[in-house]
Amino acid sequence: MATLEAPPRPRVRLHEGPFVTEPFFDFSREDNARKMRAAIEKVRGQLGREYDLIIGGKRVKTSDKIRSLNPSKPSQVVGVHQKAGKDHVEPAMQAALKAFASWSQTSVEERASLLFRTADLLRERKMEFMAWLVFEVSKNWAEADADISETIDFCEFYAREALRFAKAETPIQLPGERDSLMYIPLGVGAVIPPWNFPCAIMAGMTLASIVSGNAVVLKPSSDSPTIAAKFVELLEESGMPEGVVNFCPGGGATFGDALVSHPKTRYIAFTGSREVGLHINQVAAQRQPGQMWIKRTILEMGGKDAIIVDADADLDSAVEGVAQAAFGFQGQKCSACSRAIIDERIYDKFLEKLKARVERITVGDPAENANMAAVINEGSMNDILRYIEIGKKDGRLITGGARATEAGEGYFIQPTVIADIPPKSKLEQEEIFGPVLVVIKSRNYDHALEIANDTEFGLTGAVYSSSREKLDRAVREFHVGNLYLNRKCTGAMVGAHPFGGFNMSGTDSKSGGPDYLYLFTQAKVVGEKIS
């Protein structure tokens, strides 16, 4: 083990003014495109570096390694990481518990200041962080921009939220008493993020944890550990004390399960598949010897999201929204549109326009800013192709339907549209998590809502209609956590669209919203007699 000197504790610095979302780059401007190309070349020169576990500020090496590969060029190693195992859980937990003892007593102003400094540093290196996403998970420039911008937004928003929470008051003061309400940290949390928003979701769950005064054991996805390592380095540079975040990539069935079941793990923040989320919930519910609390689970577990297009909709706008929501980042978003439910009166015309729009999507190297790049790994690619073959039997292939081999050696799949898929069929019910859109014909608006709600998920949805009455009905009857009217169902913005879903989509955590930090704190009330 090598120990680095702890970074100096910078002075507290708070930002004034209301929260505003981070602006995106306009890559139609040549100066921005030139800077992005330069950032990509800079990061290209750093590929293949080895990264250590970070436990209590100490760098730890292991015999087992995780090799992060570029999905668009699998022969290219993005980073080599140490692989944490069961024997690393106890050291990581002890380091986090030690850090929690002091970090939980650190002023909220200092904790918020850490997030503000991190946001400042991330702005300075925004394109460089975007370039890491291009290589590690095959995001094109705009998708990478959205991911890093959201990370900055989480820094800014949760810092302000923590300061707001610190000013909480009881609704009334009893005569003769001094009554106070405070939100105190929980303890040590396990943060288990996904690969599809490997900076924003990873950082969001981590930042909410630490600004609330908790310590964290961070287990990033084995498909995207490098961007997490770069972010933890940024936290250290911003002055984060040792042990507040312990960086431990590892296997889910080994390190992950042992971490979730540890008696000192106070909560688990997870984003990923339904199957893994339910497993975590089950393991966390089992009381372990020495466990003193009911573990809290904060779970976001995907969706089978639908866009309803009514007969009175603006058809061109609906086609554009469906195409963007279905195929942005190769359909690998829990909010992605995987079901388009189209009124039978406009069904054929919609399909004609959609086919033309989808066939304009370019597939290729994200470093060259193609519209679509590779899916995350070979296993995912094979699963998606199996779904496509089922869809060809159950429905009618409109476009796509195969690997995009002309794009290169990576895990490229053509953007695929399959029409005439019946409700309740496999493709209509199961999350595919790839560039596959199924189109379903509805008899009328009642039937469309019935199909949309007939799923075990309930994350996002959208309705395109010019009828105020129908839009209002969707607000009342479309059972999803995030509903969008006359716009796509992806692209939730921090502050404006607190994000989280119903049913098997998770615990409706509403990240990026005013309730989120409640999940990482517990309320303590003090009533003091003063007369």
Catalytic residue numbers, as ranges: 300, 334
What is the sign of the dihedral through the CA atoms of 382, 503, 153 and 523?
negative
The count of residues in the chain is 531
- Measure CA 509 to chain center: 12
Q: Tell me the three-class secondary structure of 197-247, residue by residue.
A: CCCHHHHHHHHHHHHCCCEEEECCCCCCHHHHHHHHHHHHHCCCCCCCEEE
Element (H, E) at 307: strand 305-309
Edge-to-edge strand list for the sheet holding 2-3 = 2-3, 58-60, 53-55, 245-247, 215-218, 188-192, 265-271, 296-300
- Cα dihedral 423, 329, 250, 386 in deg (nearest 10): 40
Give residue for tokens 């024997």: 87
- CA neighbor of 354 nearest in space, from 305, 405, 415: 415
Helix 141-165, helix 200-211: angle, nearest 10: 10
Instruction: Please state, as a whole number, how many other Cβ atoms lie within 10 Å of the Cβ of residue 365.
Output: 19
Burial of 262 (0-12, 13-18, 19+ CB in 10 A): buried
Q: Measured between alpha carbons, how far is 157 from 496 in angstroms, rounded to an integer?
A: 11
Residue 16: helix, strand or coil by DSSP?
coil
Name residues whose C-beta falls within 8 Å of residue 30's C-beta, 6 or more positions apart in sequence: none
